[in-house]
Amino acid sequence: MSFFQVGRSPIMKIKSEVLALKYRPQSFNDLIGQEEIAKTIYNSIKINKSPNAYLFTGIRGVGKTTFARIVAKALNCKNGIENLCNKNFCENCASIINSNHIDVLEIDAASKTGVDDVRELLEFSRYAPSVAKYKVFIIDEVHMLSKQAFNALLKTLEEPPEYLKFIFATTEVKKIPITVVSRCQRYDLLRIRSEILFKFIKHVAIKENKSIDDDSIKLIVKISEGSVRDALSLLDRALISNSENKISIEHLQNIFGYVDRSSYINLFKLIFNGDEPSVLNHYRSLYDSGVEPQVFLNEFLEILYYIKNISYINLDSSSFSLNDNDYNNIKSLSKELLTSEVLLFWEFTLKVIKEIHLVRNPNLSIEMFLIQLMYLSSKNKSNKMKINKNNKSDIFINQTKQIKQVDTIDQIKNIKQEEEKIEKKGDVITKNIKNIDELILVCLEKKEMRLKYELENNVNLISFANNRIEISFNEKLNKDFVKSLSEKLYNWTNTRWIISFSKRQGEITKKVKDRNLKIENIKKFKKTNNYSELIENLPDIELTDIIQKDD
């Protein structure tokens, strides 16, 4: 028996011509991409060892409800599982397809969430099936049931009558109590692999007598993210929008509001060339084509990912993410960039994503973001010219300076201040660490971000002197904090440090101090004439932070 066939078996006249319903699988043979699960369920029913309850989980559009209906038909088909109806449907299969079988109930848990609904269902389960072999309860989006409703199900779910089967479907399996999951035979439906979905969509287009090129189908597959229903809906939209017989990728990009990846790659090249007018014009053309700022930033991150990892990506992969030209362009681009630069851009882009909604017009944030990237890129280039390729320590220092310049980790102090306090000799710091602020800077310099986070957020300092640190008890502190910090301090200073806890109340954390200082600075600034002039000229502005910049 093959599990890779595509298409549909003709059934009674279908009222809707929506492709997602028109090509919905009606038997195990029609299913695509889930062959192992289909084979397992087929064999269990064939040898009469089907479980009391099935649980299908996965993303939208991969076949959870479809699987449930096919299992219901396989359990009740008058022709038996080996001759499961595929063309001429028996009475039971036809009724299940039309959702009007008296013994197969399909329930939407989103609208039937209460314990009373479940009790009514269980009351109905006490009676044997009227015309079918099994009474089947299909509960879609089962995670929406209340806690009391789940509890009411438990006993019947574990020891149901021989004639009763439960089939659950959900996209949020983690929200289902473990006591329910353990009573079900769970099947995790995977995203449909790109090459399988590509063949299926191409087959459907041929059945619909439409000509669509392979690049257009690849675009549909990419946007659908492994969901068959999404892919069919996108194809449906493409067919409806074009009265011509031929569908091109340019047409699909326009109706889906999708911009080809090569446009983003070209934008990167302009950024690294420092051509500000061209960069802004290029972005504005993307924006005018329908690309939202949030979507732009996510696509930007994806390009950064490819630049960083292009050496590990094969062109013949099944993701259809890169064509030959894009692959070669990114590979060439990656050779011009240091890994630290790519990671810096990545951190900076994430920072903009978090803050993009602070500005009333996000589009302006993107333009300023691109200008800042050009500045960073030009600074990186100038630094590279000064670096001796064989001097790794110089490279490290220049990269670190770049990180500080964009304030990606919210540090106010610049590199020069750090270098005055921290003189390195190999891996040992020759100068003593005098206070917690210097310790935090050392953690930053050494890339010990976990320790830095704990010191800033969860350490209430009592005293810091003579290689001794005393702090208040704090349940939020990582259990390995003291051990890890002691080891690092010994490695950095070549001296043993004593870190102890006390019941005394310590200072507020550095994070809280910084926040309080920020609030105080804002209050002071609001009392100045400069702020009054700003409000007079720009009444809609909102003051969110004040940053002290060096000359």
What is each CA distance from 31 to 28, 183, 196, 395, 512, in whole angstroms? 5, 26, 11, 55, 56
Q: What pLDDT does 9 receive?
A: 40
Measure the CA–CA gap between 279 and 519, rounded to whole angstroms.
Answer: 36
Indicate the pLDDT class of residue 408, thresholds 50, 70 and 90: very low
Instruction: Give the tens place of pLDDT for each residue, 109-144.
Output: 888 888 888 888 888 888 888 888 999 999 999 999
Instruction: Give the tens place of pLDDT for each residue, 79-96.
Output: 888 888 877 888 888 888
The residue written with tokens 């681009």 in the block is 333
What is each CA distance from 54 to 27, 51, 145, 166, 438, in whole angstroms? 17, 7, 16, 6, 58
Tokens coding 180 = 């329910």
C-beta contacts of 442-449 below 8 A and 24+ residues apart: 442/492, 443/488, 444/409, 444/411, 444/418, 445/400, 445/418, 446/488, 446/492, 448/488, 449/409
Residue 360 makes CB contacts below 8 A (sequence gap 6+) with 540
Residue 366 makes CB contacts below 8 A (sequence gap 6+) with 283, 287, 293, 296, 297, 352, 356
**pTM for the whole thing?**
0.57
Domain limits of the chain? 19-188, 194-256, 261-405, 415-507
Instruction: Give the tens place of pLDDT for each residue, 412-423.
Output: 344 444 444 444
Instruction: Could you please state the CATH topology (level 3) that the domain comprising 261-405 is classified under.
Output: Zinc Finger, Delta Prime; domain 3 (1.20.272)
Of the chain, the end-to-end C-alpha distance in Å amounts to 76
Domains 194-256 and 261-405 share a fold: no
Helices H / strands E in the chain, number of each: 24, 12
For the chain, the farthest-separated pair of C-alpha atoms sits apart, in whole angstroms, at 88
499 forms beta bridges with 469
- Exposed/middle/buried for 28, CB within 10 Å: 0-12, 13-18, 19+? buried
Q: What pLDDT does 379 receive?
A: 54
Instruction: Could you please state the CATH topology (level 3) that the domain comprising 194-256 is classified under.
Output: Helicase, Ruva Protein; domain 3 (1.10.8)
Measure the CA–CA gap between 69 and 92, rounded to whole angstroms.
Answer: 12
- Exposed/middle/buried for 506, CB within 10 Å: 0-12, 13-18, 19+? middle
Measure the CA–CA gap between 67 and 1, rounded to whole angstroms.
Answer: 17
Q: What pLDDT does 168 receive?
A: 94
Just give the CATH number of 19-188. 3.40.50.300
Q: What pLDDT does 177 receive?
A: 92
What is each CA distance from 270 to 279, 334, 522, in whole angstroms? 6, 15, 38
Measure the CA–CA gap between 77 and 86, rounded to whole angstroms.
Answer: 11
- Quick one: average pLDDT of 259-266? 78
Distance between alpha carbon 339 and the CA centroid of its chain, in Å?
23
472 forms beta bridges with 502
**Backbone φ and ψ of 170, nearest 5°:** -160, 150
Tokens coding 73 = 């038909």
Measure the CA–CA gap between 35 and 316, rounded to whole angstroms.
Answer: 23
What is the domain class of 415-507 according to CATH? Answer: alpha beta
- Quick one: average pLDDT of 507-526? 85
